[in-house]
């Protein structure tokens, strides 16, 4: 049996242990930033607190079973497209697995986007090596995600993903989903607030703001600011108690809204924040949302995207690679991007003065301004 805190507990003892478990302590004014990076902790454990994540050995086992490593050994190097053509993997499935393998330093990626085995893989994960041990790996046993494989990437995968949506952890706006979102994003959002990037904005719209995980540290740091927080209607009753626990509910204008219902109806704000959200969708939808933000902002207004970034060589960090693999498995066309790719998206939407400001746990603010002139 699994407790609400995520640990295994003996059957029959669950009620007592769960009832005694402490709740999270709310942030207070003058809060201290976390002393350790969450990305380092979770990466070392092989998890990132998302329901589709698997242990690191699982990704390695999938790569071995799909013939991905043997293909690279035979061909020396390959692009994602070539790896897909030579294995049962879809292009996005190959991309997801190669990203994790790169972050684990089992595969290297050239500046031209070609992937090659490292010495560690050649020594231990290729059958022709006398030190081969891949057949002794004992992962938990989850089957490879349907959308990673060509033969499964159709109707069955879509049905399976729809059924997964009925799990409380995956249902938008439920308490388990909001609690999970709050826990995994709070440290990075607190660090983002402390960058000073929000000092000059008086009212900020927080789009798809979840638990208030950004609004809460912002309002604790800046007592004179106000936030317009939009979320799905079913989420609002579960968000209000969290805001109240931190004493900021009177400075948050909670509004029911669907991000995908255009045009948006927002009061005037001099800045718009959208955190850890756009990566879940394809580039076309991301661009449409960025253009809607551009439309709503006044001249000189600021947009902040807060996203977990690939490094410039797109071979790490590990927590980003795992998150990217999770997004591919979701089947919506989403995935993590580099800072340059996010800045390009904002520029295409009309923004200028794009910058990347690192925060914490592989997250960074991608910030830009709406120009004053036409």
Phi, psi of 287 (to 5 degrees): -65, -40
Asked whether residue 178 is assigned to any structural domain, the reply reads yes
Are both 101 and 82 inside the same structural domain?
yes
Are both 225 and 340 inside the same structural domain?
yes
Give dist(CA 262, CA 258) in Å, integer. 9
Copy the structure tokens of residue 290.
């960025």
Of the three residues 95, 130, 164, the one that is the final residue of a domain is 164
Query: What is the extent of the structural domain holding 193?
Result: 172-369
What is the pLDDT at residue 329?
A: 86
SS3 235: helix
Give dist(CA 143, CA 150) in Å, integer. 14
Are both 148 and 227 inside the same structural domain?
no
What's the Cα-to-Cα distance from 93 to each of 89, 203, 322, 326, 341, rounded to whole Å?
5, 41, 13, 10, 20
- Scanning the structure block, which residue is given the tokens 């498995």? 329
Give dist(CA 108, CA 71) in Å, integer. 14
pLDDT tens for the chain, 374 residues: list them: 222 233 322 333 333 334 444 578 999 999 999 999 988 888 888 877 776 778 899 999 999 999 999 999 999 999 999 999 999 999 999 999 999 999 999 999 999 999 999 999 999 999 999 999 998 887 777 888 888 999 765 555 555 555 555 544 446 788 888 998 999 899 999 999 999 999 999 999 999 999 999 999 999 999 999 999 999 999 999 999 999 999 999 999 999 999 999 999 999 999 999 999 999 999 999 999 999 999 999 999 999 999 999 999 999 999 999 999 999 988 788 999 999 999 999 999 999 999 999 999 999 999 999 999 76
Residue count of the chain, please give it.
374
- CATH code, domain with 62: 1.10.10.10
| Strand 252-256, strand 271-275: pairing | unpaired
Asked whether residue 2 is assigned to any structural domain, the reply reads no
Asked whether residue 292 is assigned to any structural domain, the reply reads yes
Copy the structure tokens of residue 214.
């950004």
Q: Which of 341, 221, 218, 362 is nearest to 287 (CA)?
A: 341
Asked whether residue 340 is assigned to any structural domain, the reply reads yes
What's the Cα-to-Cα distance from 188 to each of 20, 49, 102, rounded to whole Å?
28, 14, 24
Are both 79 and 99 inside the same structural domain?
yes
Give how many domains the chain has, as a whole number. 2
Give dist(CA 96, CA 80) in Å, integer. 10
Give dist(CA 55, CA 44) in Å, integer. 10
What is the pLDDT at residue 5?
A: 30
Give dist(CA 254, CA 239) in Å, integer. 9
What is the pLDDT at residue 182?
A: 93
- CATH code, domain with 204: 3.40.50.150
Are both 312 and 230 inside the same structural domain?
yes
Asked whether residue 41 is assigned to any structural domain, the reply reads no
The terminus-to-terminus CA distance of the chain in angstroms comes to 60
Instruction: Tell me the pTM.
Output: 0.88
Asked whether residue 310 is assigned to any structural domain, the reply reads yes
Are both 337 and 223 inside the same structural domain?
yes
8 Å CB contact between 343 and 351: no
Of the three residues 164, 193, 219, the one that is the final residue of a domain is 164
Crossing angle for the helix pair 318-330 and 38-45, nearest 10 degrees?
A: 70
Are both 147 and 104 inside the same structural domain?
yes
Are both 210 and 345 inside the same structural domain?
yes
Asked whether residue 26 is assigned to any structural domain, the reply reads no
Return the HEC string of 8-45: ECCCCCHHHHHHHCCCCCCCCCCCCCCCCCHHHHHHHH
Q: What beta strand segments (E) does the chain contain?
A: 107-109, 115-117, 203-207, 226-231, 252-256, 271-275, 302-308, 352-358, 363-369
Are both 188 and 149 inside the same structural domain?
no
Task: Provide the 10 A C-beta neighbour count for residue 27.
Answer: 19
Asked whether residue 264 is assigned to any structural domain, the reply reads yes
| Strand 363-369, strand 352-358: pairing | antiparallel
Are both 135 and 199 inside the same structural domain?
no
Of the three residues 164, 189, 207, the one that is the final residue of a domain is 164
Are both 244 and 358 inside the same structural domain?
yes
Are both 134 and 259 inside the same structural domain?
no
């Amino acid at each position: 049996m699994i407790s609400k805190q995520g640990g295994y507990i003996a059957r029959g003892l669950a009620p007592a242990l769960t009832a005694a478990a402490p709740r999270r302590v709310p942030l207070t004014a003058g809060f201290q930033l976390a002393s350790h990076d969450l990305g380092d902790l979770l990466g070392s454990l092989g998890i990132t607190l998302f329901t589709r994540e698997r242990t690191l050995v699982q990704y390695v086992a999938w790569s071995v079973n799909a013939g991905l490593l043997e293909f690279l050994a035979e061909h020396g190097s390959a692009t994602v497209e070539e790896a897909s053509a030579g294995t049962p993997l879809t292009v996005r499935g190959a991309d997801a697995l190669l990203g994790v393998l790169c972050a684990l330093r089992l595969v290297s990626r050239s500046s031209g986007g070609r992937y090659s085995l490292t010495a560690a893989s050649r020594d231990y994960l290729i059958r022709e090596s006398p030190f081969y041990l891949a057949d002794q790996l004992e992962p938990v046993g989850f089957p490879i995600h349907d959308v990673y494989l060509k033969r499964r990437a159709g109707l069955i995968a879509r049905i399976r993903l729809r059924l997964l949506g009925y799990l409380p952890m995956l249902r938008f706006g439920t308490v388990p989903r909001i609690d999970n979102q709050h826990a995994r994003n709070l440290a990075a959002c607190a660090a983002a607030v402390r960058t000073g990037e929000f000092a000059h904005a008086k009212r900020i719209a927080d789009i798809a703001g979840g638990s208030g995980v950004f609004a809460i540290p912002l309002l604790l740091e800046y007592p004179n600011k106000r936030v317009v927080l939009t979320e799905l209607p079913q989420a609002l009753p579960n968000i209000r108690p969290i805001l109240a626990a931190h004493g900021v509910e009177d400075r948050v204008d909670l509004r029911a809204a669907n991000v995908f219902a255009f045009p948006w109806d927002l009061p005037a704000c001099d800045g718009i924040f959208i955190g850890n959200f756009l990566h879940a969708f394809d580039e076309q939808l991301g661009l449409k949302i960025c253009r809607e933000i551009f439309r709503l902002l006044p001249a000189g207004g600021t947009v902040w995207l807060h996203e977990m970034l690939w490094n410039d060589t797109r071979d790490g960090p590990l927590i980003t690679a795992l998150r990217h693999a999770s997004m591919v498995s979701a089947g919506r066309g989403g995935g993590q991007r580099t800072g340059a790719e996010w800045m390009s998206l904002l520029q295409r939407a009309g923004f200028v003065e794009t910058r990347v400001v690192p925060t914490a746990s592989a997250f960074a603010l991608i910030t830009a301004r709406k120009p004053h002139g036409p």
